[in-house]
Amino acid sequence: MKSKANIFRILFFLLIVAGCTKLKETAGGNLTPGQVSTDTAADVLLRATYASLEYTFTSYQEMLPLTTFTTDEAIAPTRGGDWDDNASWRVFHEQKWDADNSHIRNCFNSLGGVVYAATDLLKYNATVQQKAEARFLRAWAMYLILDMFDQVPYRDPGESLIEPARVRQGLDALAYIIDEINAVEPDLPDGPADVANKFAAKTLLMKCYLNKAVYANRASPTHDPADMDKVIALADQIINSGNFDFSIQYFNNFSPTNAADGKENIFTQQSNADGNYVLQFAWQAVTHYYQGGFNGFTTLSDFYNKFEATDKRRGIAYDYSNSPPNPGRRVNVGFLADQQYNLEDDSPLDFGDGPLIYTPEVTNILPGPNLAMPGIRPLKYPPDNANFDFRGTPCTNEYVYFRFPDVLLMKAEAIWRGGAATSAGPYGNTALLIVNAVRTAPSRSATALTTLSADDLLDERGRELWWEGWRRQDMIRFGKFLLPFQEKNYASDPKYLLFPIPSEQLAVNQLYLHQNPGY
């Protein structure tokens, strides 16, 4: 009987051991919001917010097709078996995209991510400046969403993520963005450029006012001189700060050392914020396989021909830290045209079956026989060659959001559009003088214009700001976006002034989002 008693004791013991659990989930190697608020400083959340902006600009996948391939500045040709990708690229230049386009969807999502990360930070303990930086980054992302999609979804800090997000639209969204920028500007630092700063805030405000008429009526904007005056006043504040000047070389603004040498840079993307810096795509996406790239995007001959041959912005033999020896002084930055050379020994490049020659004419679908070479290649960011040997390591070029010449050209345009002319700095007090100040700066060396038409202004913005993501906005503001241009020989439907709300987002937020007209 004793053994029996033992058995029961064991059984009893086992039953106790197996007592019910509460089924409380722990976060494993992650943190719950409770742990974040008690154990974490907001600076790590802020770093993540900056990092969240990176990919959408520095990859060629999101902002670039929407802001640039849709215009006369660039094209993403389908090269036989290459670059078809479910036809998702060529629709941009053709202006035939739809609400299922993956690039449009991803761009909308990435910008939404920035809005979320910045908003989420606000629910934790943070310094005044940290919160101001986060709110500025949010305003920047919201501005881009407004510009491209018109409808700007938003959430309050701590809001449930399974509920649809509310939406601000058009001028309401713009008013909110302007209020936010004004509210945080006093708490932002003066610099450096890769931190949200006062001058970045002023530049973004200039964009808001310069394009305000567009957000009211994209098809035929009417600019209010009062808004232009605000643009001019903000420009003068930036000029008079004395913080910005032309760089010694135009491409210093984009070089691997542009954080130090880019005197024109007002706001840039912090490089290496999360170790997955992807700016190398800026050169990989355009150059041929034999130059280490993917042989993708090109400019068009009409755009290339807008430059004078002497205009250094078109391309130069450029020496910079980590640049190749380039003994033949070949154009190694800017637009790469004609025969390409090995920059180590100046031997002409041969892509296996003939010389590698970039030819100016290019079509949306290349008909052959020549598939690899058509198209002049835009190489704005000098490759950080030291960090371009197959490694995933960061290149040190900082992606440029706002630049001082843009401020000058916006001021010139505001005067041209009826704002009251002012004089600030050495740049003159008329639109023509200011434009010529940019053109004739030694780092540009273009000839001065004698008159200034709308086309001149738009073209100058194109020459100065190519591959910087402003062409779509500029062409819309000048009423040229829908008109025929090279490799789009028809006028487009006005619906293309806006991108569609991605159908995937429309499906999950039917309460507040609606499809943009025409889609």
Partner 1 sequence: MRPKQLLSIAALSLILLSAGHSLLAQTRVVAGKVIDSKDGAALPGISIVPNGTSIGTQTDSTGNFRISVPSSVTNLRISAIGYQAQDVSIIGMTFIEVALTATYTSLNDVVVIGYGTAKKKDLTGAIGSVVERDFNKGIYSSPDQLIQGKVTGVQMTTANGDPGSAITIKIRGSSALSGTGQPLFVIDGVQLDGRAFQERDNPLNFINPNDIASIDILKDASATAIYGSRAAYGVFIINTKSGQAGAPKLDVSVSAGISSILKKVDVLNPAEYRDAISYYNANPGNDKGSNINPFDAILQDAWQQNYSLAYGGGNENNKYRFSVGYQNKDGIVKNTNFKRYNAGMTASTKLLSSRKLGLDFNLNGSQYVRDGSGVFINDDLTNGNDNVIRTALQWNPTDDLYNADGSIKIIPNGPQNPLSQLNNIRANLKVTTLLASITPSYKFTSWLEYKLLLSVNYSTGTLRSEVNQATFPGFPGLASIRNFELTTEQVTHTLNFNKKIFPKLNLNALAGYEYLKFTSKGYGLSGIGVGGVGFGDYGLDYTNYVQYSDAGSRGISSYLDPSSELQSFFARAIFNYDEKYLLTATFRADGSTKFGDENKYGYFPSFALAWNIAKETFFNVRWVDALKIRGGWGKTGNQEFPPGSAQALYAFRNNGNLGQINNPNPNLKWQSDQQFDLGVDFSLFDHRLSGTIDYFNKKTTNLLFPSPPIQPAPPGSTVRWINLDGEIINKGFEFAVSGGIIRNEKFNWDLTVNTTFLNNSVSGLPVPIYTGFVNGPVETIQNGLPMNAFYTRKFLGLDKASGFSVYQDDGTKMYYVGDPNPKMLLGISSTFRYKKLSLIANMNGSFGQDIYNATLMTSLGVGGIQGGSNIASSVYHDPVKENYANPVTPSSRYVQNGDYFKLNNLTLSYELGNVANTFKNMVIYLTGQNLFMITSYQGFDPEVNINNSINGIPSLGIDNVRYPSSKSIIVGINFSL
Q: Which of residues 341-360 bind partner 1 (CB under 8 A)?
A: 351-353
Residue 9 CA, distance from chain mean position: 71
Binding residues among 50-69 for partner 1 as defined by CB under 8 A? 51-52
Binding residues among 437-476 for partner 1 as defined by CB under 8 A? none
Under the binding rule (CB under 8 A), the answer on residue 275 touching partner 1 is yes
Helix boundaries (H) for 224-358: 225-240, 258-261, 281-284, 301-304
**Closest approach of partner 1 to the CB of residue 25, in Å:** 4
Instruction: Please work out the total of residues on this chain that contact partner 1, with binding judged by CB under 8 A.
Output: 92
Binding residues among 216-235 for partner 1 as defined by CB under 8 A? none
**Closest approach of partner 1 to the CB of residue 393, in Å:** 4
**Closest approach of partner 1 to the CB of residue 267, in Å:** 19
Residue 307 CA, distance from chain mean position: 23
In the list 154, 254, 402, 470, the residue contacting partner 1 (rule: CB under 8 A) is: 154
In the list 1, 5, 29, 220, the residue contacting partner 1 (rule: CB under 8 A) is: 29
Under the binding rule (CB under 8 A), the answer on residue 392 touching partner 1 is yes
Binding residues among 287-326 for partner 1 as defined by CB under 8 A? 289-290, 292
DSSP run (H or E) holding 268: strand 265-268
> What's 321's DSSP letter?
T
Under the binding rule (CB under 8 A), the answer on residue 172 touching partner 1 is no
> What's 400's DSSP letter?
E
**Closest approach of partner 1 to the CB of residue 138, in Å:** 9
Under the binding rule (CB under 8 A), the answer on residue 1 touching partner 1 is no
Query: Which listed range, 321-329, 364-372, 416-424, 436-444, lies at the site for partner 1 (CB under 8 A)?
Result: 364-372
**Closest approach of partner 1 to the CB of residue 270, in Å:** 11
When the beta carbons of 19 and 242 are compared against partner 1, the nearer one is 19
Under the binding rule (CB under 8 A), the answer on residue 242 touching partner 1 is no
Measured distance CA(21)–CA(28) in Å, rounded: 18
Binding residues among 477-516 for partner 1 as defined by CB under 8 A? 504-505, 507-509
Q: In this structure, is the dihedral angle defined by the CA atoms of residues 222, 223, 226 and 230, taken in order, positive or negative? A: positive
Measured distance CA(150)–CA(153) in Å, rounded: 10
Q: Which residue's structure tokens are 């843009």?
A: 406
Measured distance CA(416)–CA(454) in Å, rounded: 9
**Closest approach of partner 1 to the CB of residue 419, in Å:** 35
Show the 3-state SS of 36-59. Answer: HHHHCCHHHHHHHHHHHHHHHHHC
Under the binding rule (CB under 8 A), the answer on residue 362 touching partner 1 is no
The CA dihedral of 117, 121, 127, 133, to the nearest 10 degrees, is 20
Measured distance CA(179)–CA(172) in Å, rounded: 11
**Closest approach of partner 1 to the CB of residue 266, in Å:** 24
* CA nearest to 66, candidates 177, 169, 147: 147
Q: Phi and psi dihedrals of 379, rounded to 5? A: -120, 85
Measured distance CA(517)–CA(497) in Å, rounded: 10
Structural contact between residues 519 and 495, judged by C-beta atoms closer than 8 angstroms: yes
In the list 383, 394, 405, 500, the residue contacting partner 1 (rule: CB under 8 A) is: 394
Q: Phi and psi dihedrals of 115, rounded to 5? A: -60, -45
Interface mask toward partner 1 for 113-152; x: CB under 8 A: xxxxx-xx--------------------------------
**Closest approach of partner 1 to the CB of residue 401, in Å:** 17
